[in-house]
Amino acid sequence: MGIRSRFVLFTLSLLLVSALVFDGYLVSSLGSGLAKQAASDLMVRGALVAATVNASGNLDTEAPRLANELAAAAEARVTIINPSGVVRGDSSVTGAELETLESHATRPEVVEALERGVGTSERFSSTLYGRMLYVARRLDRSDGPWIVRLAHEPPAIETMIAEMRTRLLYGTLLALGVAGVLALVSARVFGRSIQHLTETARTMRRDLSKRTHLRGNDDIARLGQELDALAAELERSIGDLSHQRERLEAMLEAMQEGVMVLRENGAIAVANRALRRMLLAGDMIGKQPIEVVRNAELHEILRESSRTRKPVTRELSFGSIRRRRVRVQVSPLAGREGRGGLVAVFSDVTELRRLETLRRDFVANVSHELRTPIASIRATSETLRGGALSDPEMAKEFVEIIDRNAQRLHRLVEDLLDLSKIEAKELDLKIEPLDARAEAQAVVDLLRHAAEQRKSHVTVEAPGGLWVKADPRALEQILTNLIDNAVKYGPPGTRVTVRARRSPDRKDRVVFEVADDGPGIDAAHVPRLFERFYRVDTGRSRALGGTGLGLAIVKHLAEALGGEASVESALGKGSVFRVDLPASKEGPAEPAD
């Protein structure tokens, strides 16, 4: 029910109740007044009749006549009763019937008149068979107290009251109709403002910029003004909260660390992009951690922090295919009654741990690589100090041993320095168009003597006019390391083919291949061939003067030039090392005359 309907109903109800109360009071007052007026009138007439009767002589004989005469004058039934209660005269009863009337000494009005002088009563008359109003007066005579009683039918009060009620009902209905119309008009005028406020408030649920624009000093206008002020304050507060939330979300999404916020019931309230990427999870909001992360250790530290309300830090492993090491820091959030949610920060330390392992392996490998030549140099020098210098042939042999180990140390240090520069991006690379065939042929010519010593045959297969974008020294070192390895680690008579061609998949790439028909490499070693200090045959590699860094340098140089290095090999089928580099559309510009 709308406010206008309630207003009209309330107004009509109020008017109806007021009318009913007024009508009831008026009817009651009218009935009481009419009854009192009838009794008072009958009393006056009774006094006049009593005075006339009292002035008569012998009432025993005169009573019937007096009753009849006075009844006509008083317009009422007149009854004269002797001191014994016997009716001696009655205007409504004939002479013959008087003897049959019972004693009236016990009638209420008679009893009251004998006691007080005047008595009244309204009761049913057994003589006249109707309701009558009685007034009795006592006459103090010499032979005792006589009673003169007047009786009259009570006025038709109920009929009058019913008629008045009908008139009052019509008047009340008319008043209610007029009041209803006036209330409806007032409600419409009043309801327009209320409806405007209601519609504006409903719109404010979706758009807080909406305003009532009510003016004035009445209650409705002031309510609208307060509503406008409240909406403006809410709009500012929500705007501030939205900006803060956006900044917080932007910060969370930009973080490298994963962040998970749990509510008091353990459900996930916040999970940023880094966490979803780290845990390979989709939508996490509203779910329990156990539903999205199958890691018993994580749930254990979440429970521990929630139970103790203290921070807990632990390093965990995630993922079954790609294992990741993650440092998880769980801290409790303040809440009601000492309870609250949790915030967990996930830091991916996989790369850090890998680098730490690489550092340890690097230190161990370098130490191992340095220990052998240094030990050889120390042993040889001690032998020379011990007297071998006196034997020229032995001294010459020991000096050659020292020289070979010194050269090996030199190569190792040079490779380490080159690799360090490449990884630190400190190489001064000068990218320019290079003739792929000419570069490959130059390196082959440089290593031809070494190949001939190993009785290996090295050929170049490359079309003319194939240009590649690269640094000349970097490309030379890549090809040198690959061809030198093919010659050095292949058996005598190995055939090595150096190819350069455009990539069949991408026309903007040039592929260099160094293929040999040597013994090949076991598939178990292939994934690690480009790691530093990794050797398939450790003893043989050191004996041939290898440092274990050649292929690592190839890989990092290829990446520095915008390419990549790869290998295919199988036991008994030889090996093919590839380097993919960007192609150049044309050669170098001709110098101006």
Domain membership flag for residue 591? no
Tell me, yes or no, whether 547 and 480 share the same domain. Answer: yes
Residues 334-375 have pLDDT tens digits of 766 556 789 999 988 888 888 877 777 667 766 766 676 787
Angle (CA) 279 281 285, round 5°: 115
Tell me, yes or no, whether 333 and 387 share the same domain. Answer: no
From residue 359, alpha-carbon distances to 283, 315, 362, 363, 365 in Å are 38, 20, 5, 6, 10
* Full domain range(s) for residue 516: 430-582
Tell me, yes or no, whether 436 and 414 share the same domain. Answer: no
Question: Rounded to an integer, what distance in angstroms lies between the CA atom of residue 197 and that of residue 202?
Answer: 9
Number of domains in the chain: 4
Tell me, yes or no, whether 10 and 109 share the same domain. Answer: yes
Domain membership flag for residue 214? no
- Domain end (from 158, 173, 190): 158
Domain membership flag for residue 446? yes
Tell me, yes or no, whether 322 and 385 share the same domain. Answer: no
Tell me, yes or no, whether 404 and 299 share the same domain. Answer: no
Tell me, yes or no, whether 358 and 397 share the same domain. Answer: yes
Question: Rounded to an integer, what distance in angstroms lies between the CA atom of residue 404 and that of residue 544?
Answer: 11
Q: Please, which residues have CB within 8 angstroms of residue 483's CB and are 6 or more apart in sequence?
A: 443, 444, 447, 458, 496, 498, 514
Tell me, yes or no, whether 344 and 357 share the same domain. Answer: no
Tell me, yes or no, whether 26 and 141 share the same domain. Answer: yes
Q: Whole-model pTM above 0.85?
A: no
Tell me, yes or no, whether 550 and 410 share the same domain. Answer: no
- Domain end (from 367, 393, 422): 422
Domain membership flag for residue 312? yes
DSSP class per residue in 32-90: HHHHHHHHHHHHHHHHHHHHHHHTSS-HHHHHHHHHHHHHHHHTSEEEEE-TTS-EEEE
Domain membership flag for residue 273? yes
Question: Rounded to an integer, what distance in angstroms lies between the CA atom of residue 454 and that of residue 186?
Answer: 116
Q: Please, which residues have CB within 8 angstroms of residue 203's CB and are 6 or more apart in sequence?
A: 210
Reduce the DSSP state of residue 428 to 3 states and report it: coil
Residues 26-84 have pLDDT tens digits of 766 666 666 677 778 888 888 888 888 888 878 878 888 888 888 888 888 888 888 88
Tell me, yes or no, whether 457 and 541 share the same domain. Answer: yes
Q: What is the CATH number of the domain that holds 50?
A: 3.30.450.20
Domain membership flag for residue 132? yes
Q: What is the pLDDT along the chain (593 residues), one digit of tens a residue?
A: 565 566 667 777 777 777 777 777 776 666 666 667 777 888 888 888 888 888 887 887 888 888 888 888 888 888 888 888 888 888 888 777 777 788 888 888 888 888 888 888 887 776 666 678 888 989 888 888 999 999 887 665 566 667 777 877 777 778 777 877 777 777 676 667 777 777 777 777 777 777 777 777 777 777 877 888 888 888 888 888 888 888 887 888 888 888 889 988 888 888 888 888 887 778 888 888 888 888 888 888 888 888 888 899 998 888 766 778 889 999 998 766 556 789 999 988 888 888 877 777 667 766 766 676 787 788 888 877 777 777 788 888 878 878 877 877 776 677 667 767 666 666 778 889 999 999 999 988 988 888 888 888 999 999 988 999 998 888 988 898 898 888 888 888 889 999 999 988 888 899 999 999 888 888 878 888 887 666 665 444 444 445 567 788 888 888 888 999 999 988 888 899 999 999 987 665 544 43
Domain membership flag for residue 193? no
- Domain end (from 348, 375, 400): 348
From residue 504, alpha-carbon distances to 464, 509, 510 in Å are 17, 9, 9
Q: What is the CATH number of the domain that holds 451?
A: 3.30.565.10
Residues 272-315 have pLDDT tens digits of 888 888 877 788 888 888 888 888 888 888 888 888 888 999 98
Domain membership flag for residue 60? yes
Tell me, yes or no, whether 336 and 389 share the same domain. Answer: no
